[in-house]
Amino acid sequence: MLQKGVFDVEKIRQDFPILQRKVMGGKPLVYLDNAATTQKPLSVINAISDYYTNYNSNIHRAVHQMAEEATIAYEETRKKIAKFINAKSTDEIIFTRNTTEAINLVAYSWGRANVKKDDRVVITEIEHHSNIVPWQILTQEKGAKLEYVGVGDDGYLKMHEYRNYLDSNKVKLVSVSQMSNVLGTITPVNEIIRSSHEKGIPVLIDGAQSVPHMPVDVQKLDCDFMAFSAHKMLGPTGVGVLYVKRDILEKMPPFMGGGDMIKEVHKYETRYNDLPYKFEGGTPNIADVIGFSAAIDYLDNLGMDRVREHEIDITKYALDRISGVKGVTVYGPANAKDRGGVVSFNIGDIHPHDLATIMNDHGIAIRSGHHCAQVLMERLDVAATSRASFYIYNTKQEVDKFIEALDEARRLFKI
């Protein structure tokens, strides 16, 4: 059913043990909650198991064989990440627990050193809470102001508002999601970065939804910071990535103090470690970083251009099908090429949690709620939405099952 040139989805599905699972009394699992987290291929599961089975050891410290093997495997992941997003150097890649911690690291380290009273930090109404709350904390602490670029009813950013903020000459940082986890909107980050840099303003890109779904090149973008998570791109939970341009990173103070982020510690002074280790205090999540390496290999083998092509195809199909369901309101851009593999919607007066329960009865996993985007929910004037989100292993047949379940819910609630 997929257009020529897109990978074999049925073959891909065989690599994911969980997709063979039956739920709710024997129904095949239809997993449509990929914006929250993706499933893991066997290669990732095996990589984690192999570490714990054969060379479990701490890294960067001991000189015995297993420690060397663990360190090499851990640092190999850093190299793959740098190549995956086309960073200039592995020194620009910092491991964190997740996208949230990566953004907080920037707010704490760079933000507290650079944002002053009456400065402005500009974000948008589509942001996830992880790209709102850290800036609220920082601006309140510093006596600065948080400004929001609005979003239109069509799901696109109101770019004239962004340009007006830049003209104020008070903006210290712009922080924006490249892809909305609710609307699916792909934001014009190239224009945002270019215009901001003309004013000497650095830009942070929240890539939690974009990096797993489309080719991302940080050098072409010229972004100053980018944050994303392993678990949304076939990898394990507990691993995040922060990319920072080296010249900026060199001037940033440490985020956490402790072991491994130091060279020497004396009673009253400390010499910090080289980049990027200066920002990686304590024993990291070694096993899952190594598991992430296998996830990157898997996506590289598919090709991110083809990942994006598949998602445009299945999202267009889903939008076409859901538009025929009576009583449905779909949020976000109408053009599948302008959005990621996310379809957020409401149907009549059915509460999203009730709808998710009905979907679950059919073996279909979707998300319901505010999606950690309550500012956007307020803008849309809704308490919550339902959300179906797709990835490399989803099929049009699964979309059909989803639509059939929606129709049954509509009949059940007499819509």
Q: How many CB atoms lie within 10 A of CB 213?
A: 31
Give the integer Cα–Cα distance in Å for 415 and 407: 9
State the DSSP code for 109. I
Q: 223 an active-site residue?
A: no
Q: Which position has the token pair 């190299």?
A: 79
Q: How far is Cα 265 from Cα 272, in angstroms, rounded to an integer?
A: 9
Q: Exposed e or buried b for every residue in 229-254, given b needs 16+ CB within 10 A?
A: bbbbbbbbbbbbbbbbbeeebeebeb
Q: Map tokens 């000459």 to a residue.
A: 169
Residues 6+ apart with CB under 8 A from 189: 176, 178, 203, 205, 221, 223
Structure tokens at 97: 């627990």
Are 196 and 202 contacting, i.e. CB atoms less than 8 angstroms apart?
yes
Distances (CA, A) of 131 to 47, 97, 172: 31, 15, 16
Q: Of these residues, 365, 372, 382, 415, which one is catalytic?
A: 372
Nearest alpha carbon to residue 176 among 206, 133, 199: 206
Q: Which helix (H) or strand (E) holds 175?
A: strand 171-177
Q: Cα–Cα distances in Å, from 323 out to 74, 204, 320, 328, 354?
A: 46, 35, 5, 7, 20
What residues does 265 pair with on adjacent strands? Answer: 270
Catalogue the active-site residues.
372
